[in-house]
Chains A and B, each alone.
Chain A
Amino acid sequence: MGQTITQKILAAHCGKDAVEAGELITAKLDLVLANDITAPIAIREFEKIGAGCVFDKDKVALVPDHSTPAKDIKSAEQVKIMRDFARKYGITNFFEIGRVGIEHTLLPDMGLVLPGDAVIGADSHTCTYGAIGAFSTGVGSTDLAAAMALGETWLRVPETIKFVYYGKLNKWVGGKDLILYTIGKIGVDGALYCSMEFTGETIEGLPMADRFTMCNMAIEAGGKNGIIPPDETTLAYVKQRAKREFKTYKSDADALYKEVIEIDCSKLEPQIAFPHLPENTKPLSEVGNVKIDQSVIGSCTNGRIEDLRVAAEILKGRQVHRDVRLIIFPGTQEIYKQAMHEGLFDIFVDSGAAVSTPTCGPCLGGHMGCLAEGERAIATTNRNFVGRMGHPKSEVYLSGPAVAAASAVLGCIGGPDQLEKR
């Protein structure tokens, strides 16, 4: 029986030729990561283990991205716990403000995750790196503590659902719309415990940014990991970043899948997820009149340079609606600099938007743009749970960058095409 790409990577990391779905394995890890919310607990637990060192000081990444720049004294202290730990154990990959970015954009961009790697992170969106053909999944702080000591973790080999996307994408439709549509179709537990393998001609034509967006949201369908078999696009991205050897894997033609789901993309419109679950999706034409108070463009889902370019294309020469606050937060310092060089910041600031330093801030309702009671936001982030961006009685609608930018100008949820008509 053939193996899926996920099975092959896991087999290679537990010293076997093949593994079966459902099997519990102990896998060696190429990178383990935590952020300023999850690391302090992981560090507390790590110290209880009594290991004199971390398993490999180059393979632990500590990324203070959530409440940074420190939003209050308590958050400053959480980051200090990380900083002290990083110094004590000589951890190479700890990033201060000014060098930090959102973990899931920063780490692959720095070449710290490569195809064929097995990665766990104390952050649910660790599944993002499947976009480059790595196995990566989110765990909790205690899992991470053990992994920092042992360099391995226990995993249940997931069954795989294969998604086959075909057809040419319409203008303004991208990876975010594909994944929102998919989650709308299968539900927030539609891929519970499963690997989501994204394939097909539409995926082959997708740029890396869109692939990251799709794998990022595998967890929103309950998935263990999202993964896209590496191709030329992947290699072009990875080769300029890799500082070590890596191996690419592909699923066998006779690999066993739990289910194969085919999706025709040719008629797909931009998708919007209504509150309070990412599965509450509607095509743009069925949204109706939904007024917004805030639009947020960024996050580990859509904070890449390609996303910012889309936003700039729409905002150029236009003004953010007088009743709307538009907040744009690039994923990393590199992306920030790139956007600045390309003149995107001029466009953003001229349109009346605020540009933030890379941070998770608004995405999790932490700081830098929380919502008040009764307020409504459209966001390119990945979750619209109750209270996600602030007050429990506020609302979040999810979309791609084109709709978020157009909505900021319109004052209500709408697409770029509605701007042309005005």
Chain B
Amino acid sequence: MILKGKVHKYGCDVDTDVIIPARYLNTSDPAELAAHCMEDIDGEFVKNVKAGDIIVADDNFGCGSSREHAPIAIKAAGVSCVIAKTFARIFYRNAINIGLPILQCPEAVDGISAGDQVEVDASTGKITNLTTGKSYQAMPFPPFMQRLIDVGGLIEYAKDKIKSAGCSCCML
């Protein structure tokens, strides 16, 4: 899968409260959440973001709460993938579970500036900065996680498991 778009760049420790503030958590509707995405760190984000755009950030992206509303808001805002030096662990799980591509690649983060055009091959992890012409290789996912991604996320994985093993009430 090839992803391509303009870069929105942020620093360290972008937390889930700025990705989607708690005052909007009385809904779980992706479109409503997307309308307030990044509001407290970048008031212009929602106005500027276009389908396919890429978020690039420094260390510990998505730290803070477990709210899945954060990756949901980012995905629904049209962002095609997030590249960071490191991700906070719950955000990392959530992104994989809901099918938002995320890539860990410190060199790419240092070599990409806000506004650059970037292309990502999500299956190989190759990141190309089209503005500078430089390429980078992101860290591969461990095999189990790659399998989760390949079957289409955790819900598909659980569906298969229930289908083959049955749920507790069927086994009674």
Contacts and interface: CB of A to CB of B under 8 A. Distances in A.
Given A124-B66, A189-B63, A145 B155 contact: yes
Contacts of A140: 66-68, 71, 90, 93-94, 97-98
A55 interface: yes
Task: State the majority secondary structure of interface residues on B.
Answer: helix
A52 B162 CA distance: 10
B17 interface: yes
A390 B22 CA distance: 9
Task: State the majority secondary structure of interface residues on A.
Answer: loop
B97 A143 contact: yes
B109 to A, nearest CB: 15
A385 B15 contact: yes
A131 B27 CA distance: 32
Contacts of B158: 49, 51, 145-146, 149-150
Given A49-B159, A140-B94, A222 B154 contact: no
A138 interface: yes
Interface residues on B, range: 35 or more
A130 B144 CA distance: 27
Nearest to B160: A49
Given A78-B28, A142-B153, A143-B97, A154 B144 contact: yes
Interface in B20-73: 21-23, 25-28, 39-41, 59-60, 63-69, 71-72
Contacts of B59: 189
Contacts of A56: 168
A354 B98 CA distance: 41
Contact of B89 (A40, A151, A192): A192
B97 A365 contact: no
Q: Which 6 A-B pairs have the closest CB atoms?
A: A53-B169, A140-B94, A142-B97, A74-B26, A51-B167, A140-B68
Interface of B: 13, 15, 17-18, 21-23, 25-28, 39-41, 59-60, 63-69, 71-72, 86, 88-90, 93-94, 97-98, 142, 144-145, 148, 153-155, 157-159, 161-163, 167-170
Given A138-B66, A142-B94, A188-B63, 17 more contacts: A24-B142, A44-B28, A54-B168, A78-B26, A121-B66, A140-B93, A142-B68, A145-B158, A156-B142, A189-B60, A192-B88, A277-B13, A383-B17, A387-B18, A388-B17, A388-B22, A390-B23
